[in-house]
Chains A and B, each alone.
Chain A
Amino acid sequence: MKRFTCSGCSLLCGDIIVQSDGIFITEVIGACLKGKERFDQVNAKNRITSPLIRKNGKLIEVSWDEAMNSVVEIIKKSNKPLLYGFSNVTCEAQEAGIKLAGKINGFIDSNASICQGKFLNKAKSLGINFTTITEVINKGDLIILWGANPAETIPRLLNKLLFSRGKFRMTGREIKTLVIIDPVKTASFRVMGVRDLALMIEPDKDIELIRMLKEECCSADSIPSEGVAGMDQNDLKRLLLHLTGAENGVIILGQGVIQPHSDYDLVEELLDLLQLINERQEKGRISLMLLGGHFNMAGFDHVALSAYGVSGHLEFGGNQLIKTKDDFVSKIEKDNFDCSIIVGSDPISHLPHSLSSKMAKKPLILIDNHNTATSQIAEVVLPTAITGIESGGLAYRLDQVPIELNKIINPPNNLPSDEELLNQLYGLLNQGGSK
């Protein structure tokens, strides 16, 4: 029995006990539902263990040589390849993906760009602090979930943040206040106690709450007696007291807050509010934490930043990094790509139909370990080992802390890791000469 780090979500829990003989995993202790599902994928019915090529509309098992040659052919015909995904792979594979994008003059982006990436970049530019899980455990006294439901997305996050005792929080839960702002009474509401504050906001009224809080920060008693956005005046006063009086507060943001609006930028307004509160704070501060689902959602930015000094997407021309006005969404919307290489992601399920239908009309190469909606439309599918179980490497936890993942068992059919496969592809293209 050994301790391993779980790659079921971006919390990367390091206390999972696994019993294995090196060939089979016989027992997994301490994993949450998502972690257990990750381990279940090893023997799932839809696991892909051989390369596949679409022939006469059907995916057929082929040899590695045939599949790799087919991929090279598709890439050679392409002038504007789009590389996407890279949140369910290690940093080493992300680095290999960026190297490949440079080789084939492609545009590369990760899932983070449609999730936490935009928020992260705006917060960085404003100088808003991000905090770590350890800091919240040891010093946190206020945890606000705003449009976030970790009980169902990062199941063990609240165990760690809310229920743990820390160095300066010896009484643990008793000294930590939980505030939830959400239009839906999610599973996270079930952990609330008497000292906590549940704010059921009316759908799409976050902007009213943010602007009222900003106003109240500047002039007291500006909260209308009827409340704001469906929330009670007294509850809002409590919220403001918590925000301005916390020693070490954290706002955990989910997709609910990152949604776009045509007439205002909710992210900017929220970051303004945070700056205002932190200016008013006399003894403490409020920091941010972002929730990302995939286990290495945070990694791509770090890798891109260290390789090219740019966070987020990268575009190459003449095998050099070039400036681009496009992002992942605009690339697809404008049909500004002619093939896509998807790594460890299922954009056909996750993107709006208007974008996935455009993606489905161009040749698509999928590198993944199981069947998905994306594999149903792929021209070639290249299977890989499951990271964190059948291969190892580095990943960044949701609070931007690097964590090492280890191999537990060998993959079926000696499947390569994502990193190995991307490097093989790079090598093959190198042999065929630069584009």
Chain B
Amino acid sequence: MEFILNSIRKIDNDQVKEHAFGTEQSLEEKLAICFINSKDFEKLNLVSSLHLKISNKEKHVIVKVKKDDNVPEGTVVMPVSIWSNRLSLVQNNELLYKNIVVNVEATREPIMKFKEIIQELLVK
């Protein structure tokens, strides 16, 4: 299903906070996450044990999903992080962090680990 991805700063899911805790587990707990409207949650046949696979022409990412009715229908919100930035784009020499067209689908695959993303970057 096609959605619009907005990556935003959320104080409870902020990198700075996680740096204060300082573990990979806490980073994954707070940042490998997305928020969608409860109506979209139903449309995607999601249950709490499923994750969301979000993809665009660049990459894909698998993250936990939570209901949040402050998010409009058709929009998926992610805290700014190494997870959301797998999907952010460079457009006309500028960085696009919001209003990114993505495809979303429910998945049983595990969430993408911090180490997994780093390993991918380290492949020279």
Contacts and interface: CB of A to CB of B under 8 A. Distances in A.
Interface string B5-20: 0101111001111011
Interface stretch (B38-46, B47-55, B92-100): B92-100
A44 B14 CA distance: 15
B23 A45 contact: yes
A259 B97 contact: yes
B124 A152 contact: no
B11 A370 contact: no
Interface stretch (A32-40, A280-288, A315-323): A32-40
- What is the size category of the interface that chain B forms with chain A? 35 or more
Interface string A204-222: 1000000000000000000
Given A33-B17, A45-B21, A186 B90 contact: no
B123 to A, nearest CB: 9
A352 B85 contact: yes
A372 B22 CA distance: 9
A357 interface: yes
B75 A183 contact: yes
Nearest to A368: B19
Contact of B16 (A37, A202, A259): A37
Given A149-B8, A184-B8, A352-B85, A372 B122 contact: no
Contacts of A255: 8, 97-98
A260 B95 CA distance: 7
Given A33-B11, A152-B9, A204-B4, A259 B21 contact: no
Interface of B is mostly: mixed
A233 interface: no
A185 B77 CA distance: 11
Contacts of A414: none
Question: Which of B72, B80, B81: most chain A Cβ within 10 A?
Answer: B72
A18 interface: no
B58 A353 contact: yes
- What is the size category of the interface that chain A forms with chain B? 35 or more
B81 to A, nearest CB: 6
A324 interface: no
Interface string A155-185: 1000000000000000000000000000111
A353 B81 CA distance: 11
Given A184-B75, A371-B22, A351 B85 contact: yes
Contacts of B88: 351-353
A262 B94 CA distance: 10
Question: Which of B21, B88, B96, B98: most chain A Cβ within 10 A?
Answer: B98
B71 interface: yes
Interface in A189-205: 189, 200, 202-204
Contacts of A333: 90, 93
A346 B90 CA distance: 18
Question: Which of B17, B85, B114: most chain A Cβ within 10 A?
Answer: B85
Contacts of A200: 72
B74 to A, nearest CB: 8
Nearest to B101: A204
Nearest to B94: A260
A203 B94 CA distance: 19
Given A186-B70, A329-B94, A333-B90, A37 B20 contact: yes
Question: Which of A189, A293, A333: most chain B Cβ within 10 A?
Answer: A293
Contacts of A202: 72
A327 B93 contact: yes
A41 B19 contact: yes
A39 B117 CA distance: 29
A189 B72 CA distance: 14
Nearest to A334: B93
Nearest to A326: B93
A93 interface: no
What 8 A-B pairs have minimum CB-CB distances, sorted nearest first?
Answer: A46-B22, A260-B94, A40-B20, A45-B22, A185-B70, A204-B99, A152-B11, A360-B121
26 contacts: A8-B16, A34-B16, A37-B14, A37-B17, A38-B16, A40-B20, A151-B11, A183-B75, A184-B72, A186-B8, A200-B72, A203-B98, A256-B6, A259-B99, A260-B92, A260-B95, A262-B91, A349-B82, A350-B80, A351-B85, A352-B88, A353-B59, A354-B90, A370-B22, A372-B19, A373-B82
Interface of A: 8, 33-34, 37-38, 40-41, 44-47, 114, 118, 149, 151-153, 155, 183-187, 189, 200, 202-204, 255-256, 259-260, 262, 293, 327, 329-330, 333, 346, 348-357, 360-361, 370-373, 376-377
